[in-house]
Amino acid sequence: MKVKLFCLFCVAVISGCATSPTGQKQLLFYDRSSMAAKGEQSFEELKQNLEVSRNEAINAYAQCISQAIVSVVPEEYGYAPEEWEVVVFDSEAVNAFALPGAKIGIYTGLIELADNADQLAAVVGHEVGHVLANHSNARLSSQQMTALGLMVAGLALAENENQQAWVAGLGITSQVLLILPYGRSHESEADLIGQELMADAGFDPRQAAQLWVRMSENASSSTPELLSTHPSHDTRISDLQAAQDEYYSRYLQVVEAGQRPNCVKP
């Protein structure tokens, strides 16, 4: 039994190996259709449990930005622009998200905080970046791998009098070294994918860093980066500023071609 379970663990690791858009190694155990189904189900539940905004001007603004972003998603990802569903939730929360299955949710609190369309586009691009990079799949797969690894460890230590202490220790280690770093890595990767998408869509990529300046100014608390699933505000701003020159030239090409979206904040 122990040998079979260990073999299963090894097969799962090998078969699930994949590479993200920026070249990061990741485990993906779920196929696209199953992830899309999970995303669609979650989105429907959110629409039932949260108040959907009926403000026509705000919805038009969110649609304008979101459609511009998804229109430049490369065909290789398998998403057509018309597939994406965009919903604005009437909430003071400063938040947005995108889910597998081409779903985008934007909270009115974020729309209010972002100074302009470029800053809101930075968040929409970032969230779409999570979907393109299969980050939800990777997070679920990591959790599955952690659970399977702990099961293998538990059986291997079945005859050890310190079994419970060992398994508890493995649980803490897996959380700190696997789950949390993946979170920060995903956030940083989504930042860069989003910055590229917004530039190609005709939004100023320099505003991505400016948005996080706004975020840091409005943050009620700060969690140390070491134990956070997100990069610190300073790290995020620095990384976005370091990448913005490359994307700014692409943005200028879109502007010169007269293709900058005319999305006006209500």
pLDDT at 2 over 50: no
- Average pLDDT of every residue of the chain: 79
Distance CA 192, CA 36 (A): 23
Among 14-23, 102-111, 124-133, whose mean pLDDT is lowest? 14-23
Q: What is the pLDDT of residues 189-238, one digit of tens each?
A: 999 999 999 999 999 999 999 999 988 887 665 554 444 556 677 888 89
* Catalytic position from the list 40, 56, 76, 127: 127
Helices (H), the chain: 2-15, 32-49, 56-70, 108-113, 117-132, 135-156, 163-174, 180-201, 206-218, 233-256
Active site residue 246: no
8 A C-beta contact, residue 113 and residue 94: yes
Q: Provide the 10 A C-beta neighbour count for residue 215.
A: 18
pTM of the complete model beyond 0.95? no
Tokens at 224, concatenated? 């140390």
Contact 132, 78 (CB under 8 A): no
